[in-house]
Structure 1
Amino acid sequence: MARTPSGELCFDHPVMRRAARALGTYVSRSPVTAGYVGLLLSTHLWCTAVLSTTEAQRVVLGISTHLDNLHDRPLRALAGSMLFFDGTLTEITSVAFAGTLITLGLGVAVCLAWLERRYGPGRAYGIFVLGHVAATLLTVPLIYLALARGWYPDSVRHAPDFGISYGAEAVLATGALLLRRARWLAAAGVVAWPVLGADWSGVLPDFTTVGHLLAAAIGFICGAFLLRAARRAAPAAAPPADPAPPAGPALAE
């Protein structure tokens, strides 16, 4: 933050003014996403700076989408999990901070905001919620199968599993497919980042990696539908060609 020569904070500084204008533009163009980012930051700070470690763990376990919660209180787990992000804002050299940059930063603050501006909040958040809910539920049969075969430890049934990453993965995949340039490179990056951090049990990755890949597939499908709709709408939006002038004798100069 800018300071005066005497060391006092200075808010009337070109950098501060540009930052304030940029923030105001972001909020006005993507109001729903701006509010959602603020909510996510608030719940994160509430858990990390206000609650004790025991209380924060109790909150996290209550909104986790593990098997026990999905069986006993599925709506609370699915909805509550979208109110938090599983990452860090302070440990900038950690893998968790890289995950925060991808999910909260690139996924929500950038890509979800762009989808909101381009397609409206209904479609943007429809993709986000669909990726979150569908990917979570589609991993359940895999977890049961892996537990029955002994591929996953029994602790998976009630292990903490929460956050926005499935929804962020879905909108990242949609955004990648809608790019005009470097579309397939961006799509490859969306698929690669969860795979590179996977924990493997033989030939089977951990269920969160599978969930991210399912969310990416959902996002790609949504992106394909949006591209198809845009291509269908393009001819209808094109202005009609000017009619040719009627044939007649040439005017003499």
Structure 2
Amino acid sequence: MSGTPTEVPQVLDGLPQQRAWARGAIPGGARTKPVRAARPAAGLRGLCDPRGLRRLRALRPWRLLPGPTGTPFTFGYAALLAATSLVSRYADPAVVESLHQSSSTDVAHLLRAPLLVLPASALWIAGAVVSSYSLCFLLVLTALERRIGGLRTAGVFLFGHVLATLATEVPVGLAVLAGRLPGSSAHRLDYGISFGVAASLGALAGLLTPWLRWPLLAVFVGMLVQDLAAFADPMTSWGHLIAVGLGVVTWPVVRRWRQARLVAAAASETL
């Protein structure tokens, strides 16, 4: 055999893989396969993608709870509720009863000092920290504040708290005036955060994807309907349903707020 390189048949030029081998031919007829760069697995590419990293950071479980920097309104409000809950637990029962009475949004107090009792009634948790609304408060208001901001979340909460309270107490006052209810109904003890939480949950549902929005509303409203059917506290049960409806009414507004917040965040990243 001669020392000249082995000629590659021309017919191989029609096959791309074999043309690559021909270009890498070496003396003596040996061929070397082209070295191909290893591609990262699809999962690794997703992790290295900045968008994938942002998704992972968004799934951090501690983001479900409020923090002093990310959700200052919810964090501060939760600290205030924790303090009033400690007062309810450890203070003298007579003092606690007096505080609850002076914060009650019953008809008599609403007629005398509505601007005082409406916000004051939201400083207490009915059932203290063991109430289911305590956990709902933390999860719902944290999620809502992360989407629309603290001041707007406070607005949604107060919107539901005030209007649902008036929607349930005003009919009681009218019924007392008409003689349909006894005068003691005007002094019914009424305080707590549940109306504001229910309205906030209704508003938050409008910012979620449909597969999460409708099951959440169905479960929550179903629980409220069961409470109403039990007739243990029909006025409060109606107030919760009204509050959820008020939250749903805010969907066009909270969606605009959410979009404006996203646009502002995107603009800040480009600076």
**Aligned equivalents of 2:138, 2:257: Cα separation in 1:** 25
* Counterpart pick for 1:200 among 231, 245, 252: 231
Q: 2:205 matched to which residue of 1?
A: 176
Q: Say which of 104, 127, 146 aligns to 1:64.
A: 104
Q: CA deviation at 1:88?
A: 3.3
- Sequence identity of aligned pairs in percent? 31
Find the aligned partners of 2:104 and 2:66 in 1 and give their Cα distance: 34
**CA drift at 1:200:** 3.4
> Against the structure 1 CA distance between its residues 29 and 82, is the aligned structure 2 distance closer, same or farther, given a 3 Å change threshold?
same
Q: Provide the residue aligned with 2:72 in structure 1.
A: 31
TM-score normalised by the chain length of structure 2: 0.65
Task: Give me the CA root mean square deviation.
Answer: 3.2
**Matched residue type, 1:200:** F
Structure 1 SS opposite 2:126: coil
Distance 1:43 1:118 in 2: 27
Structure 2 unaligned residues grouped into runs of 5+? 1-60, 267-271
Per the normalisation by structure 1, the TM-score is: 0.70
The 8 Å contact of residues 147 and 258 in structure 2, kept in 1 or not, is answered as no
Amino acid at match of 1:53: P
Within a 5 Å distance, the mapping from 1:219-238 to structure 2 comes to 219-227=247-255
Structure of greater Rg:
2
Cα 1:25–1:195 shift into 2, 3 Å: closer
Indicate the residue corresponding to 1:218 in structure 2: 246
Q: How many pairs does the alignment contain? A: 204
Deviations 1:95-124 (A, max 9, x none): xx4xx22x2212x21111111111111111
Query: In structure 2, what residue type is equivalent to 1:192?
Result: G
TM-superposed deviation, 1:22: 4.2
Q: Could you tell me whether the CA contact under 8 Å between 2:141 and 2:200 is conserved in 1?
A: yes
Residue identity in the other structure for 2:106: H
Aligned-residue offset at 1:25: 7.6
SS at match of 1:178: coil
Unmatched tracts of structure 1, length 5 or more: 1-20, 90-96, 239-253
- Given the alignment of the two structures, is residue 209 of structure 1 paired with residue 237 of structure 2, yes or no? yes
Q: Which one of the candidate residues 46, 51, 54 is aligned to 2:87?
A: 46
Judge conservation of contact 1:177–1:187 (CA < 8 Å) in 2: no
Counterparts of 2:163 and 2:93 in 1: how far apart (Å)?
Answer: 31
Q: Give the Å deviation of 1:222.
A: 0.9
Change (3 A) 1:149 1:159: same
Would the alpha carbon gap of residues 214 and 229 (structure 1) be closer, same or farther in structure 2, given more than 3 Å must change? same
Structure 1 counterpart SS, 2:206: helix
1:204-250 per-position Cα deviation (integer Å, ceiling 9, x unaligned) = x7221221121111100112432366679999x99xxxxxxxxxxxx
For 1:72-83, list aligned pairs within 5 A: 72-83=112-123
1:175-207 CA-partner distances (Å, limit 9, x unpaired): 122210221121122323333223539xxx722
